[in-house]
Amino acid sequence: MAAFHRLHIILRKTKCFNEFIRFNRSILNSLTIRSLCTYIEQPKSKNNFKFSLIGTAVGFALGIGYALKEIASAKQKLALEGTIVGTKLLKHKPDVKLSRTVFSHIDNTGLQLTLFQYQSCPFCCKVRVLLDYYGLSYDVVEVDPVFRQEISWSNYRKVPILLVKIDREYQILTDSSMIVSLLTSYLNSKSVKINELAKFYPTMVMYNEKGQFKHEIVNKYFLMYPNSVFQDKDLNHINEEYKWRKWTDNVFIHTLSPNVYRTLKEAYQTFNWFSKVGHWDEYFPFWEQAIMVHVGAFAMWLISKRLKKRHNLKDNVRESFYDEINIWLYEIKIKGGIFMGGLNPDLCDLTVYGVLNSIEGCQAFKDALINTNLGTWYNAVKEKVDSHSDRRMTTRTKYLT
């Protein structure tokens, strides 16, 4: 025992033993402090758990609420599917500025038409080409594509919108293809009024081919024959018109935007041409023009990238554009005529021409003339449409009267 006590005294005097003692003391102190911290922080951990539980409950409640809302919306859509939405006649003409009047000396229809449009919109161009080809007089209201205050009176927020005066009221016609079909039907047989013909083109609530819930105009590609059929059209011709008019809307027209807005430079060139051909300097203040050009060009440049992907266009979108043009020209070649309609343009000729006319000043159109045989057919249709130019007069007025 005495020997062990002496060994202990010696070790305490050595450096190693002292370091060993200090190391063990530090471990003990650390454990003591850590246990103390744990004890103090326990109430905070309980608060965090309580807040997490409340957050989870709120999130769960919101999720249930959102799910119930979606279920209710789906039920409402299901209930609405197949219902027909009627169009009401306007009691008074909208109080808006009139951009110009296109007057034709050969117009004997007595129709009073007002077209709300963008000058360079392909759908508006389709309608305008039809009006010009048949020599109809009409008023034009140029709509600001950004603010669209000129159509604030309408629940339909797109163009074209065509107002037709019926006695003391105004029939609203929307969707370019329906307008083309209805007016062509009317010109074939004027025994039925425009508002009566409009009943053959009801708007129905339905799911489209992509599963999207939309308001679709029924029969918009069909011509109506109340009393007689078209003498110069057989059933095969009518079916061909239907096929190519639908192709224009569902395929061809989707190649335009990715091409005219292909680069930011081309987007600005396109909007500057829109400004020039649409006479924006006459209809809109300078600051509004600047917003339309700069915001519009940049936005459409971005959107065009998404449209390219959505419609499965080639990496070089020009190739997709040329491909569709060549498909169209090949069909005309097979028929052996100048036009799809033979010796004169039919509705699908006027439709495709109207769509292309909307980009006539763009680089994409100029490239198409160089890389395809588009020019021969296009210029032939243009000559037919412009054949009434010596009998037409365009006047510009400031306000609608």
Catalytic center residues: 118, 121, 123-124
Q: Rounded CA gap, 51 and 59, in Å? A: 12
For the record, the structure tokens of 16 come out as 């190693």
Q: How many helices (H) and strands (E) does the chain have?
A: 14, 9
In angstroms, how far apart are the furthest CA atoms of the chain? 138
Please tell me the number of Cα atoms within 13 Å of 127 on its side-chain side.
29
Q: Rounded CA gap, 170 and 111, in Å? A: 11
Alpha helices for 141-234 (secondary structure H): 176-188, 194-197
Q: Which helix (H) or strand (E) holds 174?
A: strand 169-174
- The DSSP code for 232 is T
**Which residue carries 């224009």 as its tokens?**
248
Q: Which helix (H) or strand (E) holds 348?
A: helix 347-357
Q: Rounded CA gap, 120 and 31, in Å? A: 80
Q: Rounded CA gap, 321 and 365, in Å? A: 10
For the record, the structure tokens of 293 come out as 């050009």
Alpha-carbon distance values, 242 to 79, 119, 177 (Å): 31, 25, 10
Of the candidates 268, 266, 258, 305, the residue with the CA atom closest to the CA atom of residue 290: 268
229 contacts 184 by C-beta, under 8 angstroms: no
For the record, the structure tokens of 163 come out as 């107002």
